[in-house]
Every structure is written in C-alpha cells, then in structure tokens.
Structure 1
Amino acid sequence: MISIQRSGAYWSDGHFLSPSEGAAAGFPAPEEAARGTIAYSILKSHNTGGDMRNLHLRFDAIASHDITYVGIIQTARASGMESFPLPYVLTNCHNSLCAVGGTINEDDHLFGLSAAKKYGGEFVPAHQAVIHQYMRERYAASGAMILASDSHTRYGAYGTLSIGEGGPELARQLLRKTYDLAYPKVIAVCLEGAPRPGVGPQDVALSLIGATFNEGVVKNMVMEFIGPGIANLSMDYRNGIDVMTTETSCLSSVWQTDDVVRRSLSVHGREKDYKTLSPAPVAWYDGVIRVDLGKVEPMIALPFHPANAYPIRVFKENMEDILNRVDEDTLRQLEPSERPASLRKKIVNGEFIADQGVIAGCSGGTYQNLMAASRILGGHPVGSDAFWLSVYPASMPILLELTRLGVMSSFMASGASVRSCFCGPCFGAGDVPANGGFSIRHTTRNFPNREGSKPSDGQIAYVALMDARSIAATALNHGRLTSALELPEPPADPADEPYRYDDSAYEARVYRGVGHPHPETPLVFGPNIADWPEQISLPENLLVTVASAIYDPVTTTDELIPSGETSSLRSNPVRLADFTLSRKDPGYVGRAKNIAALETLRRKNPADPAVLAVMDGYDPADTALGSAVMAIRPGDGSAREQAASCQRVLGGVANLAGEYATKRYRSNVVNWGMLPFTVKDIASLDLAPGDRLYIPGIRAALRGDAEEISALLLKDGARRPVTLSLPGLTREERDIILAGSLINFYAP
C-alpha cells in the first residue's frame, strides 16, 4: 500500500531512477536536478535573497483565526506596524461560541473587525467559514505561498505552498520582514491507481501519517505529490489528504496541478489563479513515498494521535489487544486519579460500539465528504439509542449548495444535528461526549481531551479519527463500528465533482478592506484584551531551574497549553498563563511563579537575603534566575504560539529537549526570547523539578556563533558539567533571544 525510500532518487518520464541510473542517463547532479521540483520553483519566486540555501521568504497572503489574531496584531502594533502590507484574512471559526467565556469571544471579534478596518484587512464573521476552507475558496492559487497561524495551513492541492506557524512569524510579515529557514528537503509522494468506492481522503491521509510520523520520515520537509493517481482524485479528495499532511510533521506540501484544479478555481471565479505545475523533465527528490491508492482500506486512528492508525478491518479482528494498548496509553497520557473503565467494554456481542459521530471542519466538512456521507445514510435514522451524529459544513457556500440539493434536509431527517461552520470539534469546544464516551470524527486531531473533557474534573472521553464515509456507515448501523467497504454498494467519488459555488453569504457579511486601511478607525478593546507583559533581555549568566520535566516520547502543544477550555483567554497573556501545563503538570505554574518572583526581587535588590539564599554562591549582580521546561520531544501539534509565550510570561528562559517535534514550536520558543536547547540523550540526565543549570557567559555565547554551551548541572548536592546545544540558530534568531523577545527586537 505504502512504500518508503529514504534515499534520494531522480524522477523522469513517470519513473524513479537511482543516482547511478541517473548518471548513466546523463542527468545533471542531484544538486542541480533538485531545482526541477515544484517546491523549488515556488520557493525561488518568493525568496527575497540570492541564496537558495538560506531562504528569506515573503508570502502572498496571511491568515489567522480568533484564537490568534489579537496577539499577532498586538505584537505588530507594539513593533511599529501602521497598516497591513499584504492581504491579511481574519476568520472567526474557533472562538465562535460566544456563550463560552461571557463576552470575551465577541469582544475579540469586534477587535478583529476594527483592526481589519484600521489596517486594511479582510474580516470573516463567526459561523461563515472555517479558516482553511475560506482560504481555499478565496486565496489559494497555483504557485502562491500563504502563511497562517494555524498548523493545518495546507493548500497544496491547488499548487499553493502553505505553512502554519506561530503568531510571531505572521507579525514579521506584517512588519515587512521575512520568513527565514534553510532550504528544506523535498520528498516525492507518488500516488498511483485509484481509491476504491467507500475509501475516502481521510483513509489515505491516516495511512500516510501512520507510515511516516513515528519515524520522522518527512519531518520539517516538503511533501510534493506527483504521479498518475492524482488524476483519479477530485479537488475535495485532494484537499482532504493535503490538510492532514500536518500530522506527518512535514513543513509543507504541494501538488502537481491539472484540469481538475483549473475547473475548481474556475467554479470559484478565479481561473486566472491557475497555473500548470509539474516537475521538470528531470527532478531530484530527497526521498520517495509511493502510495497505491487502490490498496488503501478504511482506517481508524485510535487515541491519542493520528499516527495510531489501523485499517478498520484489522482493528475489528484484534479489538481486545489493540484496546488494551489504548487503555495503557490512557494511564500514561492522562494520569487519571483512578483507573477509568476499560475501552474493551465498548465491545458488545463482538461489535465495537461508538457513542458519537462528527463530520466537521477543514478536513471533514467539505462538499464531497458531506455528499458521500448523506448518500450512505440515505435518510435512514441514526436511531434513538445513545449514538448521535453531528455535521458541520466547512463554509456557508457549501452549506448553501447542500441545502439547495436537499442534502442537509436528508441529514436532519436521519436525526443528525446540522451545525454552523465552526472548528470546535477539532480542538475540544463542540459536541463533547459523555464521560467515558467514544467519538469517531472526520476532523484533524485526536490528542488527549480534543473532544472537550477536563481530566482535572475526573472526566475522560476519547476521539478516534475516521473518514466521513465510514462514519456514515457506522451511523447507519446505529453506532456499531462499520467500514464503508462493508456496505453492499459504497458510493464512488467522482474526480470531476459537480459543484455550484454561491458566495452570497460572504457578500452579505464579510468585510473586505484589503489594501484600503482607515487609520483613523479606533481599535475596539474588550476588557480581556491585554498587552504583552514586559520581557527582559538575555542576562550575562543564567541560573535556570527546571520547573517541569516530561518524559513522554512526544509532548503536544495541547499539553503545554490546553486547546479547548482556555480558548476564550487567548487575548489575555497573564490570565492564560495560569493554565500552562495544567493537564500534564499542575504544579508547574506555582513553581515557575516562585522562580519569577525571586528574579523580580533580584532585579530590585540583588543583595536581598531571599535572593542570596538561592544563588548557590553565584553573583546575583550578573546572574539572572529563570525557569525551564524539559521534555523529550516537545511541540507536536498546533501552531499556537501560546504554548511558548505562556512559559515566557511565567519567567521561562529556556526549553531543554532531546529534539523539537516541529519547526513551528521551536520558532515560537525563539520568538518569545527563550533558548531552544537540545541535549544529547537528555533522559540520562534524569532531570526533575528543582534541578538547576548554571549557564555562565550565555549572552556572550549568543553574541558570537557558539552552538555548544558549557553548563553545570546542580543536582542532589553535586555539580557536574553538561553540554547544551543550540544547533542551527541564525544570526537574527540569536539577536531576538538577546533582545528578550521578537517584540523587543522590533520595538521602535
């Protein structure tokens, strides 16, 4: 089904050739042939410098939603921004439920609208569209680049190389700065054959994620989709695979384009944005992934990661063993006060019983997914027992067309709940199941508590990812887990989908002010919107206390700062910071605050006895106190910069990691003025809260180009030398850390 080749290969005339075969055919050297990829041509056209090894990129458009745009605009304002220098789209698809958090969410929306007017942006009110569907419909273009403050920023199926990053990187674009990175490796994803009826895009995506994530096959690389199988996929099908590439930990993705893309752009009134993109006659790729679409089966990704994927057939044949492993993962991930009921109790008379189905968002709520699910359900009732089904269209144009065709009335006749265009089911703010419930979702993630439960209140529920087609088949069977291939006649997905785009809802509600700022417009500040607290520059020496030590193989951004119940506080850095690591290490905030209080006292009076008592003999006049989080592999998941900024607000000065799960999290650490240390075999240090690291001369090291930093570990009454690494820090990243944050670095 999927084969992976981690060594490089030439692509020519529809075939892969080894380096020796390419040399025999007279092909150019790999470094030269690498310029033949689609990714190279797009990156080159957006690189503002002459060096393609070190890219300095400017994007064609940027986008944010209402969890992130307040902080981004506040950061850019503090750094001197006077208008948006490029199209900036502000959507309101995350904090859409304005009953949550009182007036806070709608206060943020009014701020966003006033900012769009003042600075010249595009404002999409709540319930109109989820961010990525709106960008597909309005901005994705062949050969373009888009940056957005959401990790699932993927419009590669249109030939748009898109990247999801933390807010500071968008602030840089607003300040007419560049997005800087070393030229990434480009991996060919060759699609062959055609999917069977009943196999959907989520099935292909979960197969890819399961084959690549754990081994880091495409980590921080660009996945370039090529091959004859693409012609057999509709636009929605391609988008459904593409948006999930984020979960492989790749940097971005891009696809070759064809008439299907041209027709889709034409339907949306943007045929001029189409270009034919394909590899050059000879192109070099740094690795190869081959996917036989015809062999992909309906999949299920069990808690707590999209990579924990199995064919539904295999899961049903081995339910006891697989669910036993999920039970053990639950104990490790959530650390409940008492052992929850085993998921094996969901097996009834040899069938696995789900409690809920959800089809939603940028991955599930597309026109064709909902159309396919409706055809499978066929108006038959989902039943009056515990199982229930919700569907969330990804945009108002999709909802309008499906309503016109009677699809939504068919869902309602089946007993399904039809909801608005909202991202909540993806991050835990919509359709929360009962305690112990099991939800199957065509959404993007199934991390712990992504369904909205709060473990601190003794609640545990679970999300598994599936395709809309198999969710509908399961709903047809009243919650009994059913693969769409088990249906007598699974519906086929046409490659050329019939779709009528009606954007009258946008015309009625969306504020379109790109390029037309009104600087006299006042910003509307709600009582929860607060400026970032002042951050100090990097001191000469550091005495760093470990405030939390996490030994899980991967630590998600959801664990660093919860995604659901805290979303209404995103615009208040100080209040939000109180939730840092609240699920994973509830003692962290208190520890970090104690260290921060001592640092504040040190700056006021270095000779204070309370300060001297914790300095271990080091000079408080030039040695600052700070905290750090240690984790084996932190930062998988969301692009939300709050995963790092909350640590900084609490006095964090560093992360200590074996490696960083994603570039975007490491960038957030840097942009908030923290040191992104890596430590070889970090687990062997056996760090625990309270252990300390004395790092002399750290400011001098950052002024220079040192990548290896000598430090002393103070643990159990002993001091021993350790080496901390800062690999790959650019000159500008060093200067940002020296300044104390990106805001300080760009302050006028």
Structure 2
Amino acid sequence: MIKLHEGRTYVINNEKIAKLDEQVRITPDEAVKNTMTYAILEKHNTSGNMKNLQLKFDSMGVYDNTYVGILQTARASGLKEFDIPCVFTNCHNCLCAVGGTINADVHKYALSACQKYGGIYVPPHQAVIHQYMREMIVKSGDMSIVSDSHTRYGTQGSLSIGEGGPELVKQMIGKGYALDYPKVIAVFFKGQPKSYVGPMDVALNIIKAVFKNGFVKNKVLEFVGPGVEGLSMDFRNGIDTMTTESTCLSSIWTTDEKVAEYFTIHGRPDAYKKMKPGSVALYDGVIEVDLDKVVPSIALPFHPSNVYAIDDVIANPKDIFAEVEKEARRVFENNNIELNLMDKISKDGIKVDQGVVAGCCAGSFENIYLMNKIAEKSQKRLGDFGLNVYPASQPIMYELNKVGALNSLIEKGTRIKTAFCGPCFGAGDTPGNNDFSIRHTTRNFPNREGSNPATGQIASVALMDARSIAATAFNGGILTSAKDYSFDVEVPKYEFNDKVYKNVVYNGFGNPKPEVEMVYGPDIKDWPEMEALTDNLLLKVASVIRDEVTTTDELIPSGETASYRSNPYKISEFTLIRKDPNYVGKAKATQVYEKARIANDVEKAAEYYEVLKTLGNETPVEQLMKTTGIGSILYAKRPGDGSAREYAASCQKVLGGLANICIEYATKRYRSNCINWGMLPFTYDDDNIDLMVDDYLYLPNIRSLVAEGATEVEGIIIRNGETRNIVLKLENVSEAEREVLLAGSLINFYKDEF
C-alpha cells in the first residue's frame, strides 16, 4: 500500500519514481528547483538567500481561540493596519458553555478590530477557519499563515503554514517569517481508491507509515503522481488537512481542471493557476501510495498513527484492545483510573457509543452526502448511538439541505449542527465516561475529546472516515467497515451560494477605520509585564515529564479551558493540569521570589538566593537582585506535538517559566512559541537526564552567552546541598531569535524597536 523511498529521489514527468543513479539530463541542483515548493518559496522570499528564507505571506487567518492574545501583542508591537487580508473566524468557542459572556465579548472585540485595522470578520457558526480560507481567500501559488496547526491549503495550490500567535504578529506588523529552506518529500499517488474508501483512510495510513520514524518531520509534502487527478476536491482536502498529524511543515499539490472548477464555483476563477513539478524534480524522499490497496482504517487511542484495518479490529478485538488498555494505564498512571475497551466487545460485535463528523477535514459536501447514501441503504435505526454531523460552512449546509441530504439524515436521527471546531478539541460532544467514540476529526490524543482524568473521567476516541462512521451508526452502533456498503454513487455538482457570506461577513480589507474604538469585555486582559533576560538565571525545576511525546493538549488543555483564553492570568491556572497537577503551584511558588526581586524586596528575595551559597557564592543580595533573575523550568522529552496554540508556551511564561529542556521539540511551531515568549529552548541528548522536580539550575553569564550565539551553556544543578555541572545545548538560534530572547519576549522586542 505504502512504500517509503529514502534519500534523494527523482520524480520524472509526474509519472515515474527514479533513484539518483538512474540517468537524467539535469543536475541535482536544477532538479531541486523543479519542485513546486521551490518555485513558491522563491517567489515569497525577501532575503535573497534561498537557504535562509524570510517569507512574506499573501494572507493570514486567526480565530477566537487565539486572536485576542495575538491582537493584543500586535497592538503592543505597533500595529497600524492589516496590509494583507486577515480573516477573523469564530469557530472554536461558539457555544458559550463556560466563562459567562466571554465568548460573545471576544467576538465583539474581533469585529471592532476588523473595523479599526481593516480585517475580515466571519461571525460564529458561519464557517470553520480552514474552510473559509479555502473557499474565499487562498490562491494557487500563494502562501497563507494561520494560527492553527491544521493550516493546509495545498489542494488549492497554496503552500500555507500553521504557526503560533507571535509569528502571526510579525506578519501583522510587516515583518518576515524566518525559515531555513525545508526538505521536500513527494507523496506519489497512483491508482484509484475503492468507492468505500475515504480521505481519512488514505491519510491515516500515510501517518502510520511516517510518524514514528520522523520521515517527514518539519518537511514539506508535495503531492504528485497520476493518482491525484482521480480524486475529487473534497477527497483531496480531507487528506491534506490530516497531513499535520504526520508532523510535516506544510503541503502543496499539483493543480488541475478540478481545482480550476473549484475556484470557479466559489466565484474566484482568477485564483487558479496550473501547477506541477518540472519534468525532472528531485526530492529528499518519496512516499509512494497505491490508492487501489487502501482499506477502511481506524486509528485507535491515543494517536492518529495507531492505525489498523477496521476488518482486523473486528476480527481480533481482544488482542488489539489489550494493547490500547496497556497504553492507557501508562498514560493515566497518575490518575488512578482505567480505560476498559473490553466492555465494548459483545456477541453482536464491537459496540460504539458515539460518532462525530466535523471540522476542516470531514465536514465537506461530499462526505456528508455519501453518509446519507449509506444511511438510505440501511434498515436499522440509530438507537442509543449518538451521531453528530457538522458541515464545515453554512454554504455547505445550505447545499446539503437543498439536495435533501440533511433532512434525510435528520429524519433518521442524526444531529445536524452548525460549523464548529469544538468536537475536534473537546469543546462539544464530549462522550460519557468510558465511552468509545468514533470520529472523523483531526486528533485522538488523550483527553482531547473533553474528558478530565483529574476528576475520574476517561473516554476513548478512534479516528475513522465518515463513510465507515455512517456504516457503523446505521448498523446499530456496531463497528462496521464502509466496505460492507460497497456502491458507486454520483455526487451531485456542488453549487456555492455566496449570499450566505455576503449578508453577514464584514470585509474591511483595504478600508481601515482608525477612529473606531476597540470593544473590551471585562475578561479581556493585556499580557503581564515581562523582564528582559538577566545576566544570570536561577531556575527551579517545576515539572519533569518523561513521556516520549508531550502534546500541546497536555501542556495546556483544550475544551472548556479555552473559554479563559483572553485572560492570560486565568488560563495559565490550567497549565499541565491534566498531566502534572502540581506544576502550577510549584511555578507560582517560585514566581513569588521573582516578583520580590522586581519589587526590590531584599528580605524575601534573600530566601531564594540562599541556595547559591552552596556554590560558595557570597554576592550581596542587592547585587544578585540586579543580575540574577528567578524563574521555573520544565523538562519534557519531546514537547509540543499537536496544536499551534501559543498558550502552551505563554502560560508557562505568565507563571514565571523561563526555559524548557528537552531531547527535541516535537514541532517547529512550539519551539518558536517558546522563543517568542522569551523562554530559552534548551536541548539535552540523553533521555536519562538526572533532573528532578525541585532541583535548582544556576546559569551564570547566560545573557552574554545568548548574545554571543553560544551553542552550549554550562549550568550547575543544585540538589539537597550538592552540586554538579550540566551542559545544555542552545542550537540553531538565529540572530533574530537571540534578540527576542535577550529582550525577554517578542512583545518587549517590538516595544524597544518602536
């Protein structure tokens, strides 16, 4: 089904894979330039150096989980107006279930910002951000940056990137996006998927093949080959969105008549440009996918890469579920709770409790239309199985209703809901305790569905394609492959009703109104003041996490927590709450002493500096207070997998966090977030690092070392009156990043500049 070609590999005429030793009449350097990626990056690079890029994007997007913090930072950094289209959607916290008036308050805040600075405001329930960007904003050959990890518009021919909020701030105030030229991996499609196979089936099997081995980490995926042209746009979009879970940087696809038709349908025919690699294109590796051999698949808890054929799970549930339960015991070892999937095995098959089809990868016209066709073939009712379907935009909902698919699904018991990202991250349709939920959404990380292990709750989510979810739902909730409903259906031509947007979307791009006053609700707060990096640092270890990967959901939980997103003080109280409930208390206890240092409280600060006497350091407290900052530090092996949400880093900083130590950062965006919030991004190769909670780490001369571009920093660990040296790496920190670290945060850096 999938074959990985490691090392530099050619694609010839978009039809054939060839290794370097085969004869080609072109140099490797020229062949690299024949990729679509090179052409787009060259067009958008302003540095004049293709190794060290400074990119200027064509558009950007933010949404209600992120835009308050981003805009507050941009305003503090000198924002005047948006010089490229900037879309504000409201698709993550529409339900107002938690936090009082906060959700509506931030929506008013965003509308006033769009009026003042010339933005585009999409009201709640109209569209999830990525669907709106595809439909109305991006173009072939362009680049967009959006504050969400699932920013993937490669199927439209747009090489777009999901990033943390501070990187959006840079674009808002006219700064570049720094990026070393990335490696590029071709995804070579051949064949044609079976009628019962959907985009999630293809995506999950790609993720399974490349996630654990890091084959595509921080690289661009370029989708090529003869198999692309046989896929509909909705099918392509469904695969494209899920590439984020492979840990790649971005994606780009060849474009053809179907892409041209897509833009024409949405009233933007001029946005289309034919794109494909040159006749001989050289890649850093190739993923060869035989679409004919893909089968309906399922990603069991707790990661999209934990993939099995659905038929295999049905045939052998006990052994497979035993492995999942074993992993659950490891994940929840500190919560004294236990997942029991074995209870789902009955004489009729595997009982599933809930199904959800939602968001940027699933809520398409084609997916939902075909779900209804499967429902029409079944004589069974849903019963107690809860099936929840969210079209990705109101125009999609309008068209599904017009062709009768929605009424048919509703009649059969399906709950049709408006455009909302909530189920994808635990802000809607949270299943019951120990329930088994199957979802065509983006992730099935631990507790991402909204359960809270700290209160004894546990649930499990498996990812499946909408076709197999419908097959399961309309088989009485018994796990079923869409293969059992094999059929050929002609999907009607989609018609886009632009009035749905025109009547409610505020489009102020190019027409800023600086006289407009920003609307602030009572829980919209500015970021706290942040100190510049001091000469020395004395840090206390607040948490040590030895899991192989720590997700952003574990660093700062999603779901109801996000209701407090516009108040950095409140949301920071939830940092690591589901992974290490002691973290917040320990970080705040250390921060007390930093606040005393800043307030010139000699007596209080002296208590903390007492530990330095272990080193024979007798520097007067008054001098230490001027030269030695106090903070906390977090260790995790590979932190930052998953979301682009900056709160995973900024909440640590609000609590006084000044550094992370890890083997490697799971994503570029999390590392960037750490740097942009002034937290030192240390690495240490040995995963058996001798580090414990409540250890002290003294970093002498740290400011000078950062300023000089040092790649190694020698520190001293202090534990129970004993000391030892440790050498931490501070690698690949650019000059611009060093300046941000020295300033103490991106906000400080731009304040100094302006």
Say whether the fold is shared (TM-score over 0.5). Answer: yes
Residue of structure 2 in register with 1:612 after alignment? 609
- The equivalent position to 2:181 in structure 1, one of 180, 183, 193, is 183
Q: Is the 8 A contact 1:692 1:714 kept in 2?
A: yes
Give the C-alpha shift of residue 545 in structure 1.
Answer: 1.2
Residue of structure 2 in register with 1:25 after alignment? 24
SS at match of 1:71: helix
Measure the CA separation in 2 of the matches of 1:229 and 1:10. 17
Measure the CA separation in 2 of the matches of 1:493 and 1:242. 23
1:444 aligns with 2:442: yes
Q: Is the 8 A contact 1:144 1:161 kept in 2?
A: yes
Deviations 1:133-155 (A, max 9, x none): 01110012110100000100000
Give the C-alpha shift of residue 381 in structure 1.
Answer: 6.9
Residue of structure 1 in register with 2:511 after alignment? 516
SS at match of 1:548: strand
Give the letter aligned to residue 727 of structure 1. Answer: E
Structure 2 residues not aligned, in runs of 5+: none
**What is the count of residue pairs matched by the alignment?**
741
Q: Is the 8 A contact 2:112 2:517 kept in 1?
A: yes
Give the C-alpha shift of residue 708 in structure 1.
Answer: 1.1
Deviations 1:556-601 (A, max 9, x none): 0000000112111000001110000000000000100011111222
Give the C-alpha shift of residue 686 in structure 1.
Answer: 3.0
TM-score by length of 2: 0.96
Give the C-alpha shift of residue 726 in structure 1.
Answer: 1.3
Give the letter aligned to residue 141 of structure 1. Answer: K
Give the C-alpha shift of residue 493 in structure 1.
Answer: 6.8
- List aligned pairs for 1:131-142, cutoff 5 A: 131-142=129-140
Residue of structure 1 in register with 2:522 after alignment? 527
1:655 aligns with 2:660: yes
Give the letter aligned to residue 564 of structure 2. Answer: L
Residue of structure 2 in register with 1:426 after alignment? 424
Moved more, 683-692 or 427-436: 683-692
1:499 aligns with 2:494: yes
Measure the CA separation in 2 of the matches of 1:605 and 1:412. 65
Give the C-alpha shift of residue 492 in structure 1.
Answer: 4.9
Residue of structure 1 in register with 2:648 after alignment? 643
Give the C-alpha shift of residue 15 in structure 1.
Answer: 1.8
Measure the CA separation in 2 of the matches of 1:713 and 1:500. 64
Give the letter aligned to residue 562 of structure 1. Answer: P
Measure the CA separation in 1 of the matches of 2:717 and 2:630. 15
Give the C-alpha shift of residue 715 in structure 1.
Answer: 3.1
Moved more, 454-463 or 473-482: 454-463
Give the letter aligned to residue 223 of structure 2. Answer: F
Moved more, 323-332 or 138-147: 323-332
SS at match of 2:21: helix
Give the C-alpha shift of residue 464 in structure 1.
Answer: 0.7
SS at match of 1:615: helix
Q: Is the 8 A contact 1:381 1:413 kept in 2?
A: no
- Structure 1's 18 and 64: CA in aligned 2 closer, same or farther, altered over 3 A? same
Measure the CA separation in 2 of the matches of 1:402 and 1:412. 12
Residue of structure 2 in register with 1:726 after alignment? 730
Moved more, 253-262 or 711-720: 711-720
Q: Is the 8 A contact 1:602 1:611 kept in 2?
A: no
Measure the CA separation in 2 of the matches of 1:554 and 1:563. 17
Give the C-alpha shift of residue 546 in structure 1.
Answer: 1.0
Give the letter aligned to residue 292 of structure 2. Answer: G
- List aligned pairs for 1:482-493, cutoff 5 A: 482-487=480-485, 489-492=486-489
Give the C-alpha shift of residue 629 in structure 1.
Answer: 0.8
Identity %: 53
Give the letter aligned to residue 230 of structure 1. Answer: V
Residue of structure 2 in register with 1:679 after alignment? 684
SS at match of 1:196: coil
1:715 aligns with 2:719: yes
Give the C-alpha shift of residue 99 in structure 1.
Answer: 3.5
Q: Is the 8 A contact 1:379 1:410 kept in 2?
A: no
- List aligned pairs for 1:451-466, cutoff 5 A: 451-466=449-464
Q: Is the 8 A contact 1:675 1:737 kept in 2?
A: yes
Measure the CA separation in 2 of the matches of 1:508 and 1:203. 37
SS at match of 1:528: coil
- List aligned pairs for 1:137-176, cutoff 5 A: 137-176=135-174
Measure the CA separation in 2 of the matches of 1:33 and 1:132. 32
Give the letter aligned to residue 579 of structure 1. Answer: F
Structure 1 residues not aligned, in runs of 5+: none
- The equivalent position to 1:597 in structure 2, one of 575, 587, 592, is 592
Give the C-alpha shift of residue 437 in structure 1.
Answer: 0.6
Residue of structure 2 in register with 1:12 after alignment? 12
Measure the CA separation in 2 of the matches of 1:228 and 1:465. 28
SS at match of 1:161: coil
Q: Is the 8 A contact 2:335 2:453 kept in 1?
A: no
SS at match of 1:289: strand
Deviations 1:134-193 (A, max 9, x none): 111001211010000010000001110010000000000011000001000000100000
Residue of structure 1 in register with 2:639 after alignment? 634
Q: Is the 8 A contact 1:165 1:664 kept in 2?
A: yes
Residue of structure 2 in register with 1:324 after alignment? 322
Q: Is the 8 A contact 2:382 2:412 kept in 1?
A: no
Give the C-alpha shift of residue 692 in structure 1.
Answer: 2.0
- Structure 1's 493 and 318: CA in aligned 2 closer, same or farther, altered over 3 A? farther
Give the letter aligned to residue 625 of structure 1. Answer: I
Give the C-alpha shift of residue 26 in structure 1.
Answer: 3.0
Residue of structure 2 in register with 1:273 after alignment? 271
1:536 aligns with 2:531: yes
Residue of structure 2 in register with 1:583 after alignment? 578
Give the C-alpha shift of residue 83 in structure 1.
Answer: 1.0
Give the letter aligned to residue 503 of structure 2. Answer: A
Measure the CA separation in 2 of the matches of 1:614 and 1:405. 72
Residue of structure 1 in register with 2:70 after alignment? 72
Give the letter aligned to residue 146 of structure 2. Answer: A
Deviations 1:652-707 (A, max 9, x none): 010000000000000000000000100011x3223221112211111001111211
Moved more, 407-416 or 593-602: 593-602
Give the C-alpha shift of residue 339 in structure 1.
Answer: 3.8
Measure the CA separation in 1 of the matches of 2:420 and 2:380. 23
SS at match of 1:439: strand
TM-score by length of 1: 0.97
Residue of structure 2 in register with 1:115 after alignment? 113
Measure the CA separation in 1 of the matches of 2:498 and 2:385. 34
Measure the CA separation in 2 of the matches of 1:267 and 1:631. 47
1:2 aligns with 2:6: no
Q: Is the 8 A contact 1:372 1:491 kept in 2?
A: no
SS at match of 1:45: helix
Give the C-alpha shift of residue 711 in structure 1.
Answer: 1.4
Residue of structure 1 in register with 2:469 after alignment? 471
Give the C-alpha shift of residue 336 in structure 1.
Answer: 5.7
Residue of structure 1 in register with 2:672 after alignment? 667
1:738 aligns with 2:705: no
Q: Is the 8 A contact 2:82 2:119 kept in 1?
A: yes
Give the C-alpha shift of residue 404 in structure 1.
Answer: 0.4
Give the letter aligned to residue 16 of structure 2. Answer: H
Give the letter aligned to residue 632 of structure 1. Answer: K
Measure the CA separation in 1 of the matches of 2:305 and 2:192. 23
Give the letter aligned to residue 27 of structure 1. Answer: I
- The equivalent position to 1:291 in structure 2, one of 278, 289, 292, is 289
Give the letter aligned to residue 126 of structure 1. Answer: P
- List aligned pairs for 1:279-428, cutoff 5 A: 279-335=277-333, 337-340=335-338, 342-349=340-347, 351-378=349-376, 383=381, 385-428=383-426
Give the C-alpha shift of residue 368 in structure 1.
Answer: 0.5
Deviations 1:311-370 (A, max 9, x none): 111222221111111112222223364342521110001611100011111111011000
Give the letter aligned to residue 6 of structure 1. Answer: E
Measure the CA separation in 1 of the matches of 2:661 and 2:510. 43
RMSD value, Cα: 1.4
Deviations 1:37-68 (A, max 9, x none): 00000011100111000000010000011010
Give the C-alpha shift of residue 380 in structure 1.
Answer: 5.1
SS at match of 1:246: helix
Measure the CA separation in 2 of the matches of 1:492 and 1:455. 43
